[in-house]
A = this chain, B = another copy of it.
C-alpha cells in the first residue's frame, strides 16, 4: 500500500461525515432547535482526527487491510463526544469563546440553554451509537468501558481513575492565572486532550480485533502509542497557538498565553517543546514496532499531527 496521509485524512473525514449525517437526527426532527444546534457544531469543519485514528487502529488490528464495516460509527461516536466537550468549553461560564473554526460557537448561534442541552444530547447520542455497534456484545461493553472512562473526571498521576476529559477541563479552568508547573501541564494535557485521543486508538483496536483472538499486549501497545502521540499533538497545538496568527488557526491565537494558561512552551520554551514532541512520536512509533507495515497508516497520521501548521 502506497500511503498518502492526505488521502487517508480526506477519505477518513468523508466516511466519518457520512456516518454523522446518518446518526444525527435530521434538522427537521422536532424539537428543531436542539437538532440544528447539534448539527451546527458537529459539521463546523472539524478534521475528524479522532475518528480517523479509531478507524485506522481498527484496520490495523483487523489485519485485513480494510477498515472493518461499521467502524465509522465508532468514530462518529467519538467525534460526538469531542464536539460536546467543545460546545460546553466555549460557554460563557467556561472559556467564553464566540468563534470556533471561524464560525459562531453553539451558544452564540442558538443561545446558552440550547447549547448546554445540545452538548448533553451529543454525549447521550454517542452512547446510543455505541449501544448499536455491530460488534459482539462483550466487545461493545469493553468499548463502552474504555470510552466512558476516557471522558470522565480522572486526572493526575495519583488519581484512582484513568485520565479523563472532564477532569482535565476542570484542572485547566482552576489553574488559570496560577504559575503552571511541568507536572500540572502534563496532567492537564494527558486528561483533557490525551485521554480521548488514546481511547480513539484503543477502542478502534478493540473494534478491529472483535472477531479475532488478540492479546492484551496489542491493546497495551495501542494505549502507549495513543498516550505518546496524544501528548505530542497537544504540545504542537500549544506551540502553534504561540507562533501562528489567528487567521491561520481559525481561532483567537495567543489566547492561552494572554491568560497565563498552562501550556508546554510556557514551561519549556518553543524549541524544547518541538524536540519533546518529536521524541514522543519516536516513542509512539516504537510501541507499534511488532505490527510492521500494518502500522504505517497510524504512524503517518501521528507524523501529520506533529508536522501540521494549523
Q: Is A3 located at the chain interface by the 8 A CB criterion?
A: no
Q: How far is the CB of A289 from chain B (nearest CB, A)?
A: 31
In contact, B123 and A123 (Cβ under 8 angstroms): yes
On whether A131 and B156 interact (CB within 8 A), knowing A34-B166, A116-B91, A119-B120, the answer reads: no
Q: What residue of chain B has the Cβ atom nearest to residue A167's Cβ?
A: B31
- Complex Cα–Cα for A159 and B128 (A): 16
Kindly list chain B residues whose C-beta atoms are within 8 Å of the C-beta of A25. Answer: 153, 160-161
List, in ascending order, chain B residues with CB within 8 A of A145's CB.
128, 131-132
Asked whether A29 and B159 contact (CB < 8 A) given A34-B153, A131-B145, A170-B34, the answer is yes
- Indicate if the CB atoms of B30 and A158 lie closer than 8 Å: yes
Interface residues on A, range: 35 or more
- Choose among B30, B123, B131, B174 the residue that contacts A31 (Cβ–Cβ < 8 A): B174
State in angstroms the CA–CA spacing of A155 and B144 once bound together.
26
20 A–B contacts from the bound complex (CB under 8 Å) = A25-B160, A25-B161, A29-B153, A30-B159, A31-B153, A31-B167, A34-B167, A88-B117, A91-B113, A91-B116, A93-B113, A93-B116, A117-B169, A120-B123, A124-B152, A124-B153, A124-B166, A127-B144, A128-B152, A132-B145
Please give the residue numbers on chain A whose beta carbons come within 8 Å of chain B beta carbons, in ascending order.
Answer: 25, 29-31, 33-35, 38, 84, 88, 91, 93-94, 111-114, 116-117, 119-121, 123-125, 127-128, 130-132, 136-138, 140-141, 144-145, 148-149, 151-153, 155-156, 158-161, 164, 166-167, 169-171, 173-174
Given contacts A31-B167, A38-B153, 5 further A-B contacts (CB under 8 A): A30-B158, A34-B167, A88-B120, A131-B144, A140-B144
